[in-house]
A and B are shown apart, each in its own frame.
Chain A
Amino acid sequence: MEENRKKVIVIGVIGADVHAVGNTILYHSFTEAGFEVVNLGVMVSQEEYIAAAIESNADAIVISSLYGQGELDCQGMREKCNEAGLKDIPLLVGGNIVIGKQEWSEVEKRFKAMGFDRAFGPGTDPAVTIAALHELLD
């Protein structure tokens, strides 16, 4: 039974962000790609991702942010995961995760320094994230 278990990912839009459309698209794309998706919707706090990941024994957490405050909202997420016993759980983040137009390589570097395994910029095709998830989880 264990071998057949679908990979579980927790998704949601972090912080005070209420952009619901992209979240719904991701939910359907990830589900169709064969993942078991726990969708927390919009305005999700770090603690909610972590609680959901613990109960569902999630394999990865995928965080969306569309309103520019993602960098602030994501700070300390890795540390909290470690504290909660989710050591080394893959963390992915994507969307308009910083304010304004910034050099992507710099942005990516900063999110990786925060403990994120992958960071994706605006307009990323869900297929790219799915490929990354397979790379991290298979």
Chain B
Amino acid sequence: MKPVLLIDFGSTYTKLTAVDLDSEELLGTAASYTTVQTDINDGLNRGLALLEEKVGKLEYTETFACSSAAGGLRMVTSGLVPELTSEAARLASLGAGAKVVGVYSFQLTEDDIEDIESLRPDIFLLVGGTDGGNSECILHNAKMLAEMKPAFPVVIAGNRSVARQCKRLLEGCEVYVCENVMPKFGVLNITPTQKQIRDIFLNRIVLAKGLSRVNSLLSDIMMPTPSAVLQAMNLLAQGTEGEIGIGDLIAVDVGGATTDIYSIADGMPRAANTVFKGLPEPYSKRTVEGDIGMRYSIHGIVEAAGIGRVAQLSGLTPQRAEQLINYLSENTETLPGDDQELRRLDYALASLAVETAVMRHAGTMEETYTMMGQTFVQSGKDLSNVKQIIMTGGSIIHNPDAAKIATHALYSPMHPASLRPKQADVWVDRKYILAAMGLLSVHYPAAALRIMKKELEKNGFTE
């Protein structure tokens, strides 16, 4: 037996997962409250004790951890044109597992700088201009940032012609220079920036957020939790050298405050009469809906989908639904338990959270008639041929209706333009192991893949 311990320091819970590398089996999981404010070790030790009750005393050969504690990795980005370099910066940050708390375009103003000061990001991503393109904007923004003497690191990933100049302007601050996120028009190059963000996260933020106190325990790797989930999803989709994955997929993580969507798929147009518009999409894409969540962001779901649909799906009257929603928004710790009303309401809310978030993540296809006949204009990712949906997140994995909730990620005639999967298999992450498997996959991808295939509960085909 070769036991490995995987830790996910969350904002409310520390989740522990023990696996055996020899048998490629999940040994057990445990969770306890996170206590970054006092000492993160308290939560960890309680979790370890709980885990020991389940799996017995083990000598872990290695320990790996990821973290979204203390607000996660908070980032602010600034670019030039909103749909181009600004969007590239946002995509890069989300894909690196960050929580993007501010996105700026064009020249930063004094007001913007004040806002940024109060946002106090962990990292600032400064981009703008293609290589050899516009340099005015990024230089201006570097100057504005320099004046506020940022206490946070700045990653420069814009027009390479002036990268050095930007660095000089920001002298005395912690500055990193990366390749341009959009070196040429329509070319997305976000991997180097994401690697840099992760390095900074390891070296600086982990220390700042009190996680270093447990460092002695850890063998290796610290990454933001969403980044670990994205790695797990990449592995599950693509497989390893010796074993195939399950193919293109979408993963849905409905939380209390936000809903994260991951898609691992090319998503480019498949027909010759389809014209693609906008920035090319990353193969591994993550989006976060900050207004869609089961408790803290419960009103966002209602705003997006309408109380009528909540009532329709839950079978409650709109008045009753509204009453309960107000109650849940104030009593965020409430679990439905055996309360039939709350269970039906939670089902409706989760379904609409999935529908809204996947619709915002997926691309759209519009049909137009030109002089040459019927033409299609696609923007964003075409996920209509994706055949696997992974459901995760605390509010879903304990719900017996998880597979039914997942159907709301699929194509619907109500929104014909939205390029969501036509039909798919649903896998439910009942034991909440995706982040842990992402961590494990860094050194042991084959084991991580097999454990995921074994542990994810396949709920059959959904149309």
Contacts and interface: CB of A to CB of B under 8 A. Distances in A.
A55 B133 contact: yes
Contact of A17 (B80, B129, B371, B377): B371
Main secondary structure of the interface of A (DSSP, over half): loop
A18 B185 contact: no
Closest 3 CB pairs of A and B: A56-B133, A57-B134, A57-B133
A38 B185 contact: yes
A58 B81 CA distance: 14
A128 interface: no
Contacts of A51: 81, 83-84
B319 interface: no
* B135, B185, B370, most chain A CB atoms within 10 A: B185
A131 interface: no
B368 interface: yes
B407 interface: no
Contact of A55 (B81, B275, B371, B375): B81
Contacts of B277: 43, 48
A67 B132 contact: no
A56 B370 contact: no
A55 B132 contact: no
Interface residues of B, number: 25
B334 interface: no
Interface of B: 80-81, 83-85, 128-130, 132-135, 161, 182, 184-186, 275, 277, 368, 370-372, 375, 377
Contacts of A54: 80-81, 134
B186 to A, nearest CB: 8
A16 interface: yes
A40 B186 CA distance: 9
A17 B81 contact: no
A93 B377 CA distance: 24
A60 interface: no
A55 B182 contact: yes
A16 B176 CA distance: 43
Nearest to B137: A54
A57 B138 CA distance: 12
Interface in A3-19: 5-6, 8, 10, 16-19
Nearest to B88: A55
A43 B182 contact: no
B349 to A, nearest CB: 37
A8 B133 contact: yes
B370 A55 contact: no
A108 interface: no
Contacts of A56: 129-130, 132-134, 185
A77 interface: no
Given A43-B277, A57-B132, A16 B368 contact: yes
Contacts of B161: 1
A15 B251 CA distance: 36
A55 B377 contact: no
Contacts of A43: 275, 277, 370, 375, 377
Contacts of A48: 277
A14 B263 CA distance: 32
10 contacts: A8-B132, A51-B84, A54-B81, A54-B134, A55-B84, A55-B182, A56-B129, A56-B134, A57-B132, A67-B370
Contacts of B182: 55
Contact of A36 (B80, B132, B375): B132
A55 B372 contact: no
Nearest to B159: A57
Contacts of B375: 16, 18, 43
Given A8-B133, A16-B370, A67-B370, A41 B275 contact: yes
A68 B377 CA distance: 20
A75 to B, nearest CB: 19
A42 interface: yes
A8 to B, nearest CB: 7
A38 B377 CA distance: 20
B368 A55 contact: no
